[in-house]
């Protein structure tokens, strides 16, 4: 028999669940548009027993939706450009090229958010909406989950500046050939998770989408 330890089956159910965490205290540190909490907790360990009590800060925010707008006929993607406070100290620019995105409000489904934000941010009407992934961007510190779609659109006439005044949005719309968008990704200009994941998906699925025409 081999002395090498058999690796766990990662396709099976997770070994631990929420029941394996003991939450001792939840304290609000800040409440604004987002909420910051301090949690005192302990959890079960892989080798048995429990961890010591620890404090973790968690950024609590709405779940988000991103949608890569793709024009199959023109082989073009629609990206939006806007100022991002979190990138204020970026060595190149705090204005970022991104896919259309927004937060899920109470009573909305992710698909509804994708279609609403496509209109608000890009003036685009989405036809077929293709689910890609749901993921945690930063689970070590934030409870946000992102649902990502590809939305098929007619990009003719799209462009200009969009956004809601009451949300201080100043959003410029770019319609780019896929090849140009891919060049920007390779050059490091598309440096946010939604954009990277969605364009990597499109690079794989683009031929099959275009074959459906």
- Known catalytic residues? 167
Residue 20 is given by DSSP the state G
Torsion 55-59-63-69 (CA) sign: negative
What is the distance between the alpha carbons of residues 68 and 130, in angstroms, rounded to a whole number? 10
Considering only CA atoms, give the Rg of the chain.
21
Residue 212 is given by DSSP the state T
What is the distance between the alpha carbons of residues 172 and 158, in angstroms, rounded to a whole number? 10
71: phi then psi, degrees, rounded to nearest 5? -100, 105
Phi-psi region of 48 (alpha: psi -120 to 50; beta: other; left: phi over 0): left
Burial class (CB in 10 A: 0-12, 13-18, 19+), 156: exposed
Residue pair 75/178 in contact (Cβ under 8 Å)? The answer is yes
């Amino acid at each position: 028999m081999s002395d090498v330890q058999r690796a766990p089956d990662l396709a099976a159910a997770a070994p631990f669940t929420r029941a394996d965490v003991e939450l001792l205290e939840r304290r609000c540190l800040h409440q604004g548009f987002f909420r910051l909490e301090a949690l005192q907790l302990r959890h079960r360990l892989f080798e048995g027993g429990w961890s010591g009590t620890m404090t973790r800060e968690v950024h609590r925010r709405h779940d988000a939706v991103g949608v890569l707008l793709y024009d199959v006929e023109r082989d073009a993607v629609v990206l939006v450009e806007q100022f991002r406070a979190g990138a204020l100290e970026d060595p190149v620019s705090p204005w970022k090229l991104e896919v259309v995105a927004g937060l899920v409000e109470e009573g909305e489904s992710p698909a509804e958010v994708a279609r609403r934000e496509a209109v608000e941010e890009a003036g685009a009407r989405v036809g077929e909406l293709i689910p890609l992934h749901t993921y945690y961007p930063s689970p070590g510190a934030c409870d946000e989950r992102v649902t990502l779609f590809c939305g098929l659109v007619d990009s003719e006439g799209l462009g200009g500046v969009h956004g809601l005044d009451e949300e201080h949005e100043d959003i410029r719309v770019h319609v780019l050939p896929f090849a140009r968008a891919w060049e920007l990704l390779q050059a490091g200009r598309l440096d946010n998770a939604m954009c990277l994941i969605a364009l990597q998906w499109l690079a794989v699925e683009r031929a099959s989408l275009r074959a459906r025409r």
